[in-house]
Structure 1
Amino acid sequence: MITAYVRTDDRLHALPLEAGADMPAGTVWLDVLRPEEAEREDISTRLGVDLPTQEDMREIEASSRLYTEDDAAYLTTPVMSRGEDGRPDLGMLTFVLTPTVLITVRHTEPLWLAIFAARALRQPGLVTGHLDAMLGILEAVVDRAADVLEIVRGELDQLSQQVFSELDERGPAKPHGRQHESRKRQAVKRRQEKRKAESDALRGVITAIGRAGDLTHKVRDSLAGLERLGAFAVAVAGPRMAKDQKLRLKTISRDVHSLVEHAGFQAMQTNFLLDATLGVINIQQTNIIKIFSVAAVAFLPPTLIASIYGMNFEYMPELSKVWGYPVALVLMVISAVLPLWYFKRKKWL
Structure 2
Amino acid sequence: MTTNAIAATSAHDHLLQAGWMRLFRHQDDRLAEVKRVYGIDLLVSSRRATVEEYGFLIIPVNLIVHREHEYRETNVVFALGKSVLISLETHPGTLDVASRILLEEVQAGNSHDPASVLFLVLQSLNDTAHATIREISERLDETGASVASAGGGYQMAGRQVGVADIADMVAKLAEAEELVAKTVESQMMIARAVRWLRRIESSRRFGQALPTLVSDIHSLRRYAQFQHGKIRNLQQSLMTMLDLKQNNVIKVFTIVTAVFTPPTLVAAFYGQNFAEMPELFLPWGEWAVIVLTGLSAILPLFYIKKKGWMR
Q: Report the TM-score when normalising by structure 2.
A: 0.82
* 1:194-205 → structure 2 map (5 Å cutoff): 194-196=158-160, 202=166, 204-205=168-169
How far does residue 138 in structure 1 lie from its aligned partner after superposition? 0.3
Given that 2:151 and 2:241 are in contact with CA atoms closer than 8 Å, whether structure 1 keeps it comes out as no
Distance verdict in 2 for CA 1:303–1:15, change over 3 Å: closer
* Paired AA for residue 98 in structure 1: G
Tell me the residue number matched to 2:194: 230
Given that 1:94 and 1:106 are in contact with CA atoms closer than 8 Å, whether structure 2 keeps it comes out as yes
Tell me the residue number matched to 1:117: 99
2:13 paired with 1:52: no
How far does residue 215 in structure 1 lie from its aligned partner after superposition? 2.4
Given that 2:119 and 2:194 are in contact with CA atoms closer than 8 Å, whether structure 1 keeps it comes out as no
Distance verdict in 2 for CA 1:138–1:260, change over 3 Å: same
* 1:90-129 → structure 2 map (5 Å cutoff): 90-110=73-93, 113-123=95-105, 124=108, 128-129=112-113
Matched residue SS, 1:295 = helix
* Cα distance per residue 1:116-153 (max 9 Å; x no partner): 21221222366511111000000011111111101111
Tell me the residue number matched to 1:7: none
Tell me the residue number matched to 1:132: 116
Distance verdict in 2 for CA 1:42–1:310, change over 3 Å: same
* Cα distance per residue 1:188-233 (max 9 Å; x no partner): xx99x83346767545533432442232122122112223333333
Query: For the residues of structure 2 that align with 1:27 and 1:49, how far apart are their CA atoms?
Result: 22
Query: For the residues of structure 2 that align with 1:309 and 1:302, how far apart are their CA atoms?
Result: 10
Query: For the residues of structure 2 that align with 1:199 and 1:207, how far apart are their CA atoms?
Result: 12
Distance verdict in 2 for CA 1:138–1:126, change over 3 Å: farther
2:137 to 150, 153, 156: 153
How far does residue 69 in structure 1 lie from its aligned partner after superposition? 0.9
Per mean C-alpha deviation after superposition, the further-off stretch among 204-213 and 289-298 is: 204-213
Query: For the residues of structure 2 that align with 1:86 and 1:214, how far apart are their CA atoms?
Result: 17
Tell me the residue number matched to 1:42: 33
Matched residue SS, 2:158 = helix
The alignment-based identity, stated in percent, is 22
Tell me the residue number matched to 1:341: 302
* Paired AA for residue 194 in structure 1: G
Tell me the residue number matched to 1:265: 226
How far does residue 155 in structure 1 lie from its aligned partner after superposition? 1.1
Matched residue SS, 2:208 = helix
1:32 to 23, 34, 37: 23
2:255 paired with 1:294: yes
Given that 1:29 and 1:101 are in contact with CA atoms closer than 8 Å, whether structure 2 keeps it comes out as yes
Query: For the residues of structure 2 that align with 1:78 and 1:126, how far apart are their CA atoms?
Result: 29
Query: For the residues of structure 2 that align with 1:38 and 1:317, how far apart are their CA atoms?
Result: 100
Tell me the residue number matched to 1:217: 181
2:204 paired with 1:243: yes
Matched residue SS, 1:15 = helix
Distance verdict in 2 for CA 1:76–1:246, change over 3 Å: farther
1:310 to 271, 281, 287: 271
Distance verdict in 2 for CA 1:127–1:115, change over 3 Å: farther
* Cα distance per residue 1:149-181 (max 9 Å; x no partner): 011111111211221138989xxxxxxxxxxxx
How far does residue 253 in structure 1 lie from its aligned partner after superposition? 1.9
Question: How many residues of Structure 1 are paired with residues of Structure 2 in the alignment?
Answer: 299
Distance verdict in 2 for CA 1:28–1:56, change over 3 Å: closer
1:70 to 37, 54, 60: 54
Distance verdict in 2 for CA 1:304–1:346, change over 3 Å: same
Given that 2:45 and 2:58 are in contact with CA atoms closer than 8 Å, whether structure 1 keeps it comes out as no
* Paired AA for residue 261 in structure 1: R
How far does residue 328 in structure 1 lie from its aligned partner after superposition? 2.4
Matched residue SS, 2:264 = helix
* Cα distance per residue 1:255-314 (max 9 Å; x no partner): 222222221221221122123223324433433442222111101111222232233487
Gaps of 5+ in 1: 4-12, 18-22, 170-189
Query: For the residues of structure 2 that align with 1:234 and 1:242, how far apart are their CA atoms?
Result: 7
Distance verdict in 2 for CA 1:35–1:168, change over 3 Å: closer
Distance verdict in 2 for CA 1:115–1:316, change over 3 Å: same
Gaps of 5+ in 2: none
Given that 2:20 and 2:86 are in contact with CA atoms closer than 8 Å, whether structure 1 keeps it comes out as yes
Per mean C-alpha deviation after superposition, the further-off stretch among 116-125 and 89-98 is: 116-125
Q: Report the TM-score when normalising by structure 1.
A: 0.74
Given that 1:40 and 1:50 are in contact with CA atoms closer than 8 Å, whether structure 2 keeps it comes out as no
